[in-house]
Amino acid sequence: MDLEANQNSPFAKNKTHIYELIENITKRRLKLEENFAKEVDSLPVIEYYSQTLVSHIVHSLVQNDKNKEGFSLRSANVQRLFESLEKVNPKRNNPIFKTDITNTLDANFEAELKTKSKIEELTHNITTAIGINSKVLDLTVETKKVIDEFDDIDIDSKTNIQFQTPPKLYKKYILLSKSASSFIAITNLASFTLGKKSFKKTKTSSHL
């Protein structure tokens, strides 16, 4: 897939027309009225489109031996898309984007915080890139209760818990975006860490 995607990716060289089509369609979808947006987002083709686009985003942001050709350009184009869509769909402080990577990074607290922040940023960016407006994911929370369910919940007058979760339709898109974001952030951190260790080892050896 990597070698083929090097040429066919919408973020690749000479694929500007596809990139611009994705950008324009996404901006129009992000501006749809909420109820109409839900109708569009529920179409089967949107799920297939989302999975395909996310795979190309991952391919463009995680480098390996098979996708080195044109990687810098594809990566830059993905970032350009994120920045362009951010103007239409600014990031919101949404609990759904929160992630927990405790014990994932060998108790490296600083790396953990940076990676956690990056995963949450990417989750927003990827969710936006597949055309999901933050407005339909908004939660109204009037207590400090931790929300970890995506199903609709009624108002409980006894405990005064009042919050609204997004439609079940969007659970798969959030999970898709979170999985991709976690893979991108953690893989790139691991590559960076190994690169630093290799550099230090080489530098030390050169002085022996």
pLDDT digit string, tens, across residues 112-132: 677 788 888 999 999 999 999
- Residue (of 110, 112, 109) closest to 101 by Cα position: 112
Q: Is the pLDDT of residue 80 over 80?
A: yes
Q: In angstroms, what CA-CA distances link 80 with 13, 59, 83?
A: 14, 16, 5
Tell me the two tokens of residue 197.
Answer: 């260790």
Question: Which whole-number Å values give the CA distances from 112 to 6, 44, 128, in the listed order?
Answer: 31, 36, 24
Partnered with residue 156 across adjacent β-strands are 161
Token code pair at residue 146:
């931790």
Q: What is the mean pLDDT of the chain?
A: 77
The pTM score is 0.76
Is residue 161 classed as helix, strand or coil in its secondary structure?
strand
Distance CA 90, CA 137 (A): 13
Residue 63 has pLDDT above 80, yes or no: yes
Residue whose pair of structure tokens reads 């597949």 in the numeric block: 130
Percent of the chain whose predicted confidence (pLDDT) is above 90: 43
Taking only the tens place, the pLDDT of each residue in 7-52 is 899 999 999 999 999 999 999 999 998 888 888 988 999 999 999 9
